[in-house]
Amino acid sequence: MVNKPLLLGLDVSTTGAKALLVDLKGQVVSSATMPLSLSTPRPLWSEQNPEDWWDGIVKSTRSALKKAGATGGDIAAVGLTGQMHGLVLLDENGAVLRPAMLWNDQRTADQCNTIRERLGKERLIQITGNDALTGFTAPKILWVQENEPEVYAQVRHILLPKDYIRYRLTDAFGMDRAGGAGTLLFDLKARTWSLEVLAALEIPADWLPPTFEGPDVTGLITAVAAQATGLSAGTPVVGGGGDQAAQATGVGAVEPGIIALTLGTSGVVFATTAAPLVEPEGRLHAFCHTVPDKWHFMGVMLSAAGSLQWYHDQIAPDMSFDELVNEAANVPPGSEGLFFMPYLSGERTPHPDPLARGAWIGLTLRHTRAHMTRAVLEGVAFGIKDSFTLIQEAGLGAVEQVRISGGGAKSPLWRQIMANVLGVELVTVNTTEGAAFGAALLAGVGAGLYASVGEACRAAIEMTGKTEPDADTAVYPAYYARYRALYPALAAEFAAISKLVE
């Protein structure tokens, strides 16, 4: 028997359009995902057709309702999440003008330099909380301005991917403030569009939608959208949040002192802040949270569990991950002087360097495969600690608890190494549905079924495990100091090596 009412979280990621139904106790009732593909028509380009997102959301929503034996009338509210930083351009009639440019599109290096030149890097960081990076929305707008003037002349609305779904669901334009902060057009402190940045980049302010907090109701399901999706006309749709902020909401990282650590292919460290703090050099992302009047720091490591995946596939493809990792349990902390630099895909935090490379440092005849495995686990933990160190230096304060999720979190040994390197308690929680779950909780707040985001998290999220630092914690500071010295020592060589293989 399904406990009603239900909450619907919709997630437009790079790879799939997901619909998740949950009840008010946080129990997942049903889930459906329709795959999405991306287009790379030229080197460095990454695009998707917004119509494919809508088609995927329609199908996944209908599928999730059918699996649950639910109707549109059972849904109290809808929450939205999805990939951040993308660029959706619409004309005066709401028609899509060109394929959406995605977060991982890398064509805008020149436009990033233009933004820094017009505003000054230091001023840009102070206003927006971030340096200009190719992934953000603002440089994409300038690229279209410079390279596709016939398209640019028709632009009347600028949206993010999930906000295109909002438009199709409600016929209303809107954007959550967590997503808006990821455009590089936001005044972080004021939680709204920066007129100074818009003026410097010559982007009309009326092209941008009104902004909302994560639980705010932004519109109602239209009759047309109801017919397409199976939802009921008049169902409220809330602001929601960008994928990382919604993911953090989904594990309960909504108060300062509780950090969300996602140990997936990439590694993400997400720290809620009570004030709009900024890392002076822009080495951390600083965005608005889905929680009203809260902000967050975010550090991103490009190859976290991805490093272990690569190592397994290349070194021991015939072993299970458990067998491979368990060998490392008998190796002492510090891997007897063997270090692994986890920069297999370049790096973002704290070294925004696409030319950074992976390496083992300190190999001797004494070292075995078990040492190499442990060095990979420790190297990723050291890389995650880099983000923690920056966050604390930027003024976060005490870290009370780290809520860990993602594929890498399934390994007890890796969790223990991570707890020891970070020197803090790690906990796992019962929620594994990520950003869509957080979006559903925000929908519940918007519908008045929870009094606050914090209350929603307490009602739906339970701790399932705990890993506390043990005696090995004392060993790691000396090893971490040596790890931190490796990138500065080798950065110039990484750049020189890249020229050899161009």
Cα within 13 Å of Cα(221), Cβ side? 23
Quick one: how many helices (H) and strands (E) in the chain? 17, 24
Which strands sit side by side in the sheet containing 285-288, from one edge to the other? 285-288, 295-301, 267-273, 258-263, 401-405, 426-429, 463-467
CB 27 within 8 A of CB 462: no
* Integer Cα distance of 70 and 229 in angstroms: 13
* Integer Cα distance of 86 and 271 in angstroms: 23
**Catalytic residue from among 171, 243, 293, 353:** 243
Do the strands 75-82 and 157-159 form a parallel or antiparallel pair, or are they unpaired?
unpaired
Amino acid at 234: G
Which runs of consecutive H residues, i.e. helices, occur in 328-471? 369-393, 412-422, 435-446, 453-460
Tokens of 343: 């920069």
CB 27 within 8 A of CB 3: yes
3-state DSSP helix/strand/coil % of the chain, to nearest 5: 40, 20, 35
CA 471 distance to own-chain centroid: 33
How many residues does the structure list for the chain? 502
Burial of residue 221 (number of CB atoms within 10 Å: 0-12, 13-18, 19+): buried
Amino acid at 183: T
* Integer Cα distance of 302 and 354 in angstroms: 10
Q: What is the dihedral of CA 48, 49, 50, 52, to 10 degrees?
A: -100
Cβ burial 238-251 (10 Å sphere, 16+ → b, else e): bbbbbbbbbbbbbb
Burial of residue 398 (number of CB atoms within 10 Å: 0-12, 13-18, 19+): exposed
Q: What is the dihedral of CA 225, 230, 235, 239, to 10 degrees?
A: -70
* Integer Cα distance of 62 and 230 in angstroms: 6
Catalytic annotation present for 187: no
CB 295 within 8 A of CB 334: no
* Integer Cα distance of 259 and 253 in angstroms: 6
Eight-state DSSP code of residue 209: P
Q: Which residues are catalytic?
A: 243
